[in-house]
Amino acid sequence: MATLDESTDALTAEESWQSIHTTMDNVRSSMYVAGMATILLMWGVILAVGYLTMYGVYTLAPDFAEQHPWFPAPLWWVLGPIGGVSSGIIGSRASRRLSYGAAGRRAGIRVCLFFVTTVVATFLILGVAGVLDDPSADGGKTLTASIAGFLALSYILFGIMTRAVIALAGAGFAVAFFVPHYLLGDAALGVTGVLSLVVFGLAFAWIRKTGEW
């Protein structure tokens, strides 16, 4: 094995090579996750607001919910774009604080394209499956569950490519949605709303406290 005769802080050639690899991997993924702690917390709040609003309408105004089974659609059509645009702004501002130049911009564009692609794919798949054409209450529940599944999947995939805590937040959200969905009946959306905030809030707190990903 080749050795380097540095008197202090000696590195072998292999260690130098490994250090270069690790650092390059780190800087690439660091640019992709700029502002992610705040973005995760924001989505926790948005999901909690959405699910708790739905739960409130189903519980407090069941007649309205029965007459207007499509009511979750406009709710999420407002919350979703707000979350998407806010994520872009937060990520862009965070990226400008970290780096100046083309690398940060390219990373931001790639992250944006990743999530836009998952949103477009979600609606294409649901459209082909006929879920978007069903105006009944059951159709609305299927749509809500499908979108929750795709949202969790997008975070898991993004986290696998960047940082584990993001994938864990996605998996945690899937558990927060689907376990109550199948076990708790009418109370499911209320529990999911609270658990969503807890899951994404924990991810935010973990990143802020430890600085580790």
Partner 1 sequence: MSVESAPANEAIVLDETIHQPTRLRIMTLLVSVPVPDRLAYGFIQQALDLTGGNLTIHLRKLEAAGFLEITKEFQGTKPRTWAQATVSGRRAYADYLSNLQRTLGLGMSPAE
Cα angle 25, 34, 155; round to 5: 80
Rounded distance between C-alpha atoms, residue 184 and residue 180, angstroms: 5
Q: Which is nearer to partner 1, 3 or 59 (CB)?
A: 3
DSSP character for 212?
-
For the record, the structure tokens of 173 come out as 């959200």
Q: x/- string (CB under 8 A) for partner 1, residues 20-59?
A: xx-xx-xxx-x-----------------------------
User: 10 Å Cβ neighbour count for 157?
Assistant: 15
Q: Which is nearer to partner 1, 27 or 116 (CB)?
A: 27
Residue owning tokens 């202090």: 8
The full DSSP string for 172-196 is HHHHHHHHHHHHSGGGHHHHHHHHH
For the record, the structure tokens of 162 come out as 């960047």
Closest distance between partner 1 and the C-beta of residue 108, in Å? Answer: 13
Q: Which is nearer to partner 1, 18 or 117 (CB)?
A: 18
Q: Which is nearer to partner 1, 35 or 180 (CB)?
A: 35
Closest distance between partner 1 and the C-beta of residue 11, in Å? Answer: 6
Mark the segment that binds partner 1 (CB under 8 A) among 17-25, 49-57, 113-121, 167-175: 17-25
The CA distances from residue 5 to 10, 12, 19, in Å, are 7, 9, 18
The CA distances from residue 207 to 26, 35, 164, 179, in Å, are 16, 11, 11, 26
Q: Which is nearer to partner 1, 29 or 53 (CB)?
A: 29
Question: How many residues bind to partner 1 according to rule CB under 8 A?
Answer: 31
Q: Which of 57, 98, 132, 179 binds partner 1 (CB under 8 A)?
A: 98
| Footprint on residues 102-131 left by partner 1 (CB under 8 A) | 102-104
Interface residues toward partner 1, by CB under 8 A: 1-6, 9, 11, 13-14, 16-17, 19-21, 23-24, 26-28, 30, 96-104, 211
